[in-house]
Amino acid sequence: MSATAAADRTNVYQRAAQALRNTRLGEAVRRTTDKFRFARHRAVAGLDDFEALREHARSIRAHTISHLDYYLAQLAGHVEAAGGHVFFAQTAEDAVEYVLEVARRHNVRTVVKSKSMISEEVELNPRLAASGIEAIETDLGEYIVQLGNDRPSHLIAPSLHKSREEVAELFSQLAGEKLSADTPTLTRFARAKLREAFLEADMGITGCNFAVAETGTICLVTNEGNGRMVTSLPRVQVTLMGMERLVPTLEDLDIMLQLLPRSATGQKLSVYTSLITGPRRAGEADGPEELHLVIVDNGRSKLLGTPYQEALHCIRCSACQNVCPVYRHIGGHAYGWVYGGPIGAVITPLLRDVADWGELAQASSLCGACAEVCPVKIPLHDMLIGLRKDTQAVRAASWEERLLFRLWTKVMASPKGFRRALAAARMLQAPLVRAGRWRWAPPPLSQWIAERELPAVASRSFRDWWRERAASSTGTKAAGVRPAAKAHTTPRGGSRP
Amino acid sequence: MRVALLVTCLVDAFYPGVGQSTVRVLERLGVSVDFPERQTCCGQPAFNSGFHDEARIVAAGLLDAFAESECVVSPSGSCVAMVRHYLPKLFAGTPRETDARALADRTYELCEFLVRRLGVVDVGARFPARVVYHASCHGWRGLGLREEPLLLLRHVQGLELVDLPYMEDCCGFGGTFAVKFAPLSAAMGRAKEAHAAATGAQVLTGTDMSCLMHLDGTMRRQGSPMRVMHIAEILDQTVDGAEALGVAAASEEVAV
The 10s digit of each residue's pLDDT in B140-194 is 999 999 999 999 999 999 999 999 999 999 999 999 999 999 999 999 999 999 9
Query: What is the rounded CA–CA span in Å between residue A234 and residue A236?
Result: 6
Nearest to B184 among A326, A417, A493 (CB): A326
Q: Is the dihedral of CA A275, A279, A282, A284 positive or negative?
A: positive
Query: What is the rounded CA–CA span in Å between residue A232 and residue A338?
Result: 28
Query: What is the rounded CA–CA span in Å between residue B11 and residue B235?
Result: 16
Taking the mean position of all CA atoms in its chain, how far away is CA A52? 24
Residues in chain B within 8 Å Cβ distance of A492: 15, 17, 216, 228-229, 233
Task: Please name which of B44, B40, B64 lies closest in space to residue A422, comparing C-alpha atoms.
Answer: B40
Q: Summarize chain A as % helix, strand, coil (round to 5).
A: 55, 10, 35
Amino acid code (one letter) for A224: E
Quick one: DSSP state of residue A212?
A: E
Nearest CA in chain B to A372: B141
Q: Is the dihedral of CA A258, A261, A262, A266 positive or negative?
A: negative
Question: Does the distance separating the beta carbons of A457 and B58 come in below 8 Å?
Answer: no
Task: Please name which of B157, B11, B169 lies closest in space to residue A464, comparing C-alpha atoms.
Answer: B11
CB atoms within 10 A of CB B44: 25
State whether residue B183 sits within 8 Å of chain A by CB: yes
Please report, in tens digits, the pLDDT of each residue of chain A (497 residues total): 344 444 457 999 999 999 999 999 999 999 999 999 999 999 999 999 999 999 999 999 999 999 999 999 999 999 999 999 999 999 999 999 999 999 999 999 999 999 999 999 999 999 999 999 999 999 999 999 999 999 999 999 999 999 889 999 999 999 999 999 998 999 999 999 999 999 999 999 999 999 999 999 999 999 999 999 999 999 999 999 999 999 999 999 999 999 999 999 999 999 999 999 999 999 998 999 999 999 999 999 999 999 999 999 999 999 999 999 999 999 999 999 999 999 999 999 999 999 999 999 999 999 999 999 999 999 999 999 999 999 998 988 899 999 999 999 999 999 999 999 999 999 999 999 988 789 999 999 999 999 999 999 999 999 999 999 999 986 554 444 444 333 343 444 333 33
Burial of A443 (0-12, 13-18, 19+ CB in 10 A): exposed
Distances (CA, A) of B174 to A199, A415, A483: 52, 25, 37
Task: Please name which of B187, B165, B200, B198 lies closest in space to residue A38, comparing C-alpha atoms.
Answer: B165
Question: Does the distance separating the beta carbons of B240 and A413 come in below 8 Å?
Answer: no
Strands (E), A150-215: 203-206, 210-212
Nearest to B49 among A367, A388, A445 (CB): A388
Query: What is the rounded CA–CA span in Å between residue A261 and residue A346?
Result: 22
Q: Is the dihedral of CA A278, A279, A281, A285 positive or negative?
A: positive
Q: What is the pLDDT of residues B189-218, one digit of tens each?
A: 999 999 999 999 999 999 999 999 999 999
Burial of A462 (0-12, 13-18, 19+ CB in 10 A): buried
CB atoms within 10 A of CB A250: 14
Length of chain A counted residue by residue: 497
Distances (CA, A) of A383 to A59, A350, B21, B63: 19, 11, 36, 25
State whether residue B2 sits within 8 Å of chain A by CB: no
Question: Does the distance separating the beta carbons of A479 and B27 come in below 8 Å?
Answer: yes
Nearest to B41 among A20, A372, A412 (CB): A412
Q: What pTM, to 2 d.p., does this model score?
A: 0.93
> Is the distance from CB of B69 to CB of B31 less than 8 angstroms?
no
User: Cis before residue B75, ω within 30 degrees of 0?
Assistant: no
C-alpha neighbours within 13 Å on the C-beta side of residue A406: 7
Contacting B residues, span 106-165, partner chain A, CB-CB under 8 Å: 137-138, 141-142
CA distance B168 to chain A (A): 9
Query: What is the rounded CA–CA span in Å between residue A60 and residue A313?
Result: 9
For residue A371, the SS3 value is helix
- Beta strands across the sheet bearing B107-109: B32-34, B2-5, B72-74, B107-109
Query: What is the rounded CA–CA span in Å between residue A220 and residue A208?
Result: 6
